[in-house]
């Protein structure tokens, strides 16, 4: 999480009057998909003990947007209620790279490169195929999303 994110979070909390939970989750290469979703899943279950799901919003930027969507899908599999809304900022939803336009877009992308992204996914994915919905939620059950 960057200093920009912290400024955005503080401003949103002040303007909206909402409580905000920011899970500082374990990341690759030391940790993987299972570690991260074990932790953020526990955070969500604790939130549901204190707050109704209709008062919960998942917000995420890039990998955090991916996490918001995948966590909602995992929660649905567990029979947990979905959050009321998602606020997704440039979420990573298709890590399979099956869309050839990704390679064209990379030429103009000032932030991310495909080789580095593939290595990050390899380290994080714990051997799960990139086209599996746990990694690429675009291929999951989108009907469970708010």
Domain harbouring 114, CATH code: 3.40.50.1820
Please confirm whether the linkage preceding 114 is cis (ω < 30° from 0). no
CA distances from 6 to 1, 10, 75, 92, 143 (A): 8, 6, 26, 20, 31
| pLDDT average, residue stretch 61-82 | 96
Out of 48-52, 76-80, 98-102, which region has the weakest mean confidence (pLDDT)? Answer: 98-102
How confident is the model at residue 71, as a pLDDT?
98
Tokens matching residue 16:
């909206």
* Structural domains in the chain (count): 1
Helix (H) or strand (E) holding 16: helix 3-16
Better pLDDT: 7 or 116 = 7
What range defines the domain where residue 39 resides? 3-144
Statement: residue 136 has pLDDT above 90: yes
Tokens matching residue 59:
């917000």
The model's pTM: 0.91
Taking the C-alpha atoms of residue 140 and residue 49, their distance in angstroms, rounded to an integer, is 27
């Amino acid at each position: 999480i960057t200093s920009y994110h912290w400024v955005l979070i503080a401003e949103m909390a002040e303007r909206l009057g909402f409580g905000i939970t920011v899970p500082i989750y374990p990341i690759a290469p030391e940790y993987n998909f299972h570690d991260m979703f074990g932790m953020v899943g526990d955070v969500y279950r604790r939130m549901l003990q204190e707050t109704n799901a209709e008062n919960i919003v998942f917000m995420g930027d890039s990998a955090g947007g991916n996490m918001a969507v995948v966590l909602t899908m995992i929660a649905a599999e567990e029979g947990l209620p979905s959050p009321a809304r998602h606020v997704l900022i440039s979420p990573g939803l298709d890590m399979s790279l099956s869309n050839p336009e990704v390679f064209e877009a990379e030429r103009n992308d000032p932030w991310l490169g495909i080789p580095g992204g593939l290595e990050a996914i390899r380290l994080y994915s714990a051997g799960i195929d990139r086209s599996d919905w746990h990694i690429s939620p675009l291929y999951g059950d989108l009907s469970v999303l708010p």
